[in-house]
């Protein structure tokens, strides 16, 4: 592989993997926690919260990017507080790319996690309480093991989505080679520049990674039991 082509591939791939890893970590922690809360909650607002949490799945990525710009831009109260207090700048930085990817991938983790928790027979958890197991012990020994396959499927789907994120990332993080130019953005830039060889290689790499992860997600997804216990 020529040195220039190697740089065109390896740097965006490394940035994409970093963004996808941290974005998936953030969306997994928040998605699993909120999924568990809404699965166990009986508040009338839970369907409203579910709708709000699902919005990033249906809103155009550029709209999400615009909302993130409004929320975290240099002229916003949140943006100024992050910059002045914590020294964090989300605009045109990899931190912004991570936040954008986390927001976009969040519903893909949250929805399967909630469904996995809701599918657990409450009598199993109640039996643990009767035996004197603490709530933490019930979660770690009963709830989480029964829901882990559904959660893992959602996490992998979220990682794939974060890996291929384009619109919201471009809006808030821009396209800075070596800094915020992920694989998806690099493909767009290569096509715009007429570098079809680079675009083809990058598209092939990201497609192969996504297909592999989707197959793995299908494998870990809980299988429905056939009638008769087969």
> Considering the entire predicted model, what is its pTM?
0.86
| Residue 111 belongs to domain spanning | 3-120+151-220
Is residue 133 assigned to a domain?
no
What confidence tens digit (pLDDT) does each residue in 80-117 have? 888 888 888 888 889 999 999 999 999 999 999 999 99
Count of domains observed in the chain: 1
* Residue 65, C-beta contacts closer than 8 angstroms, at least 6 positions apart: 100, 167, 168, 169, 170, 171, 172
Is residue 142 assigned to a domain?
no
Is residue 92 assigned to a domain?
yes
What confidence tens digit (pLDDT) does each residue in 16-66 have? 999 999 999 999 999 999 999 998 888 778 888 889 999 998 898 889 999
Is residue 60 assigned to a domain?
yes
DSSP string, 51-84: HHHHHHHHS-HHHHHHHHHHHHSTTSHHHHHIII
CATH code of 171's domain = 1.10.3720.10
User: What is the band of 199 on the pLDDT scale with cuts at 50, 70, 90?
Assistant: confident
Q: What is the mean pLDDT of the chain?
A: 86
Is residue 174 assigned to a domain?
yes
């Amino acid at each position: 592989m020529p040195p220039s082509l190697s740089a065109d591939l390896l740097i965006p791939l490394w940035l994409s993997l970093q963004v996808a890893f941290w974005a998936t970590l953030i969306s997994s922690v928040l998605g699993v926690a909120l999924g568990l809360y809404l699965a166990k909650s009986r508040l009338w607002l839970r369907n409203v919260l579910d709708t709000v949490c699902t919005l990033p799945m249906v809103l155009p990525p550029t709209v999400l990017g615009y909302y993130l710009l409004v929320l975290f831009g240099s002229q916003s109260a949140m943006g100024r507080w992050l910059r002045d207090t914590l020294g964090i700048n989300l605009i045109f930085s990899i931190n912004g790319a991570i936040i954008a990817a986390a927001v976009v991938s969040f519903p893909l983790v949250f929805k399967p996690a909630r469904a996995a928790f809701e599918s657990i027979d409450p009598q199993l958890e109640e039996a643990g309480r009767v035996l004197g197991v603490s709530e933490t012990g019930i979660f770690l020994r009963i709830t989480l093991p029964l829901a882990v396959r559904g959660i893992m499927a959602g996490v992998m789907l979220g990682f794939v989505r974060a890996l291929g994120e384009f619109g919201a990332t471009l809006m808030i993080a821009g396209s800075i080679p070596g800094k915020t130019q992920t694989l998806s953005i690099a493909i767009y830039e290569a096509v715009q520049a007429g570098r079809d060889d680079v675009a083809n290689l990058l598209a092939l790499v990201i497609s192969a990674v996504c297909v592999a992860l989707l197959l793995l997600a299908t494998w870990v997804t809980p299988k429905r039991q056939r009638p008769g216990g087969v």
